[in-house]
Structure 1
Amino acid sequence: MTDEELAGLAETLASAAGLTRPTALRRLAGGRNNRVFHVSMEDGSCVVLKLYHSDPRDPRDRLGAEWSFLNYVWERGVRNVPRPLTRDKARHAALYDFVPGRKIAADEIDAAVVAKAADFVIAINGEPCQPERLAPGSEACFSMADHLATVDRRVARLDGIDEHAPFAAEAASLVANRLHPLWQRASSAISEGAKAEGIALDASIASVCVSPSDFGFHNALLDEAGRAGFIDFEYAGRDDPAKLVCDFFCQPEVPVPPAAFDAFVAAIAGPLGLVRDDLWRCRTLLPAYRLKWVCIILNEFLPIGASRRAFADEGDRAIRAQQQIDNARRQLDLVATQL
């Protein structure tokens, strides 16, 4: 999309939302799958224009998921998220209120900051709590078998690494010699643990929640008063609360200290109505989700993953690829110590 087309889209959406005319657009850093712009308005206010990656090989409706989630939580009085203003489904674009704040650094993650995340999970599941009003989140899981199958699919997909990608041979070796063996060990341990607990792998889970899905401090902001805001809900929907917990503690970009696990789970357990089996899944599935995040990191080496990253970041693919190899190694080292 040219600068002129982008400015025209911003003006069209601003008009549809009843806003004044845009005067300037500035690309915001950080989006891995989308392009996000800060839009200055004629009246001195500002909004955010978000362009969502779309590819026929990936049927997920990122715009639809984020739009539905934000309208749902906004109706329930949650205000530390972007307010949805208007969208253009045909052009995979939406306009949102601007959420002020700065990115959170890993060394800032303490008990108080983790408590803000727990408060957010509780708030989005506030009354009336109707997760059935939302579509399933991306890769939603409603049984133990679903969790195992999700990671299985991601691991198997990495057998199709693009041989023309930078460092492709290194990535393929990492998948064959480290990821596959670790996943076999983790999957077996989880299945045996479920059997010991008397939990059938195909049994439906007891609890379903409203989930941001890709939840973590990589998608959070702190304003000047220390209030936390949360952004990027393109994978949100209804899901297993254990998956929410595991993603929160396994996302590698701004890692949450493992020591915070018990306090976080305890904080959300009562308000979300979690029962014993839910709490067991939260802990037992952690190695599986660490390996799932390794797969996500290595998406850089799959054609569709590279296409999505290139849409959001036009930088040097070789640099991205080397960074992802290093990130994947660190995560695999961590999982190896836990099995």
Structure 2
Amino acid sequence: MNTSSVNQSKLISPISSSLDLILPQLPNYPFTEVERINGGKNSQVYRLTSHTRAQFALKIYFQHKAEQRNRLKTEFLSLKFLKDQGIKAVPKPYLKNESQGWSLYEYISGEPIRDFQVTSQDITTLVDFLLQLKNLSKHPASHDLNLASEAQLSIQGIIDNIKNRLNKLLEIPKDTIENKLLNQFLQDDLVPFLSELIVWCQPCLKEKLMDFSNEIVLEQRTLSPSDYGFHNALRQDNGELVFLDFEYFGWDDPAKMISDFLLHPARMIDFSLKQQFFSEILAGFSENKTLSTRVKIVYPLFGIKWCLILLNEFIPEQLLRRGFADINPIDKRERQAQQLAKAKQMLTQIKGDYEQFPYYY
């Protein structure tokens, strides 16, 4: 790469060989500034500035042979679908190269939204966006979209998914202090409570004449970003929100979509705002008469799943992903200790909530 085209003072991390390959392929090359910015936990993101001051977001995706989902293709095609249908609150996709693992998107100038900055209007804006996706599920082109990442459309499927995640963690060798503490937490706390939850949910389903094994019908499904919330949003100068990160987008159970927002450990927003979200989203799905009950039943199951997601840092390929994406990596043992503490906190919360769902409608 011609380094004279890059303002070195704007480089947060060294220009990698992959950038040497990618940048000359892009429109508006050469760029006057190439800056590494926060790209979440799965990708590297660079802000590119051309000589005309036009800006773009280059996203380089973590790729591993163990991955079964093409996150690049999912995100690019999902954003194209949304833009084609007139959705404004998402970035525009420009160009992708699946073999090299990158996509070029519209650069969104905005500020991250901290927990204490979330307002009642922000909640309404988020709900409106999710209801736009719900309405797009009726569009003929939506049927070309895949299921969202790890979408499970039956209670049995949710439990099977949890057990698969759990077994991966139980198989980790107990060869470090951290791994021994992980195993102790799983065996002594999480596994017994999961068994308790499985027993608890079945009579709840039976009482409401809901099925344990059958998947919800197409009419009860929705399009969902899957990993969404204010941690994946920016506030623009005009106050409007733009939503990012559609690597896991697709068809899903709206009960999962709702539960994930209420449980997501990346955001600790005020209880009253979560209550507002629950009330407004249920009103938007008013034709789904069983959704409120379904949320109350699956909420603690997804709480268990979030405990296991938090423990991904103990899985070797997940550590590779974090190492690829992190701008400021931290020590593996420190990270694992932090995540184990968060999982314990989440489990304690679910144990306290599951018999008396904390939100009302």
Q: TM-score if structure 2 supplies the norm length?
A: 0.86
Are 1:129 and 2:144 matched, yes or no?
A: no
Per the alignment, residue 222 of structure 1 pairs with: 235
For residues 268-317 of structure 1, the C-alpha deviation after alignment (integer angstroms, 9 at most, x for no partner) is 34545641222221222111111111111101001222121122124422
* Farther off after superposition, 65-74 or 143-152: 143-152
Among candidates 236, 248, 256, match of residue 249 of structure 2: 236
2:191 counterpart residue number: 180
**Partners of 1:319 and 1:290 in 2: how far apart?**
23
**Matched letter for residue 300 of structure 1:** E
Structure-2 residue corresponding to 1:337: 352
Distance 1:30 1:174 in 2: 31
Aligned to 2:210: 199
The match for 1:5 is: 18
Q: Which is further off, 172-181 or 238-247?
A: 172-181
Query: Taking every aligned residue pair, what percent have the same amino acid on both sides?
Result: 25
Please, which moves more after superposition, 130-139 or 227-236? Answer: 130-139
Between 312-321 and 78-87, the greater mean CA deviation after superposition: 312-321
Rg comparison, structure with higher value: 2
Aligned residues: 335
Partner of 2:332: 317
Q: How does 1:254-333 map to 2 (within 5 A)?
A: 254-269=267-282, 271-272=284-285, 274-313=287-326, 314-333=329-348
Q: Which amino acid aligns with 2:131?
A: I
> Is the 1:51–1:92 Cα contact (8 Å) retained in structure 2?
yes
Where structure 1 has 5 or more consecutive residues not aligned to the other structure, the ranges are none
Q: How is 1:152-163 mapped onto 2 (pairs within 5 angstroms)?
A: 152-161=163-172, 163=174
Q: 73-82 or 275-284: which moved more?
A: 275-284
Distance 1:56 1:263 in 2: 41
Q: Does structure 1 residue 116 correspond to structure 2 residue 125? A: yes
- Are 1:209 and 1:238, in contact at CA under 8 Å, matched by a contact in 2? yes
- Alignment of 1:143 with 2:154, yes or no, is yes
For residues 100-111 of structure 1, the aligned pairs below 5 Å read: 100-111=109-120
The answer to whether the aligner puts 1:97 opposite 2:72 as a matched pair is: no
1:249–1:256 CA contact under 8 A, matched in 2: no
SS at match of 1:285: helix
1:130-189: CA deviations, max 9, x gaps?
Answer: 442210111112222222222222222210235456722222222222221222222222
Between 2-11 and 135-144, report the one with greater CA deviation.
Answer: 2-11
Q: CA RMSD in A?
A: 2.1
Corresponding residue to 2:51 among 13, 20, 42: 42
Please give the alpha-carbon distance, in whole angstroms, between the structure 1 residues aligned to 2:349 and 2:213: 29
For 1:303, the aligned partner's letter is: P
One-letter identity of the residue aligned with 1:328: A
Task: Please state how far the C-alpha of 1:212 moved relative to its aligned partner.
Answer: 0.1
CA contact (8 A) 1:35 1:50 kept: yes
Residue 256 of structure 1: CA displacement?
4.1
The answer (yes or no) to whether the contact 1:82–1:98 under 8 Å persists in 2 is yes
AA matched with 1:147 = I
Distance 2:80 2:153 in 1: 24
- Give the SS at the match of 1:135: coil
The CA distance in 2 between the partners of 1:112 and 1:188, in whole Å, is: 39
The residue type paired with residue 16 of structure 2 is D
Deviation at 1:232, TM superposition (A): 0.8
C-alpha contact (below 8 Å) 1:141/1:147 kept by paired residues: yes
Letter aligned with residue 79 of structure 1 = K
SS at match of 1:125: helix
Distance 2:159 2:179 in 1: 26
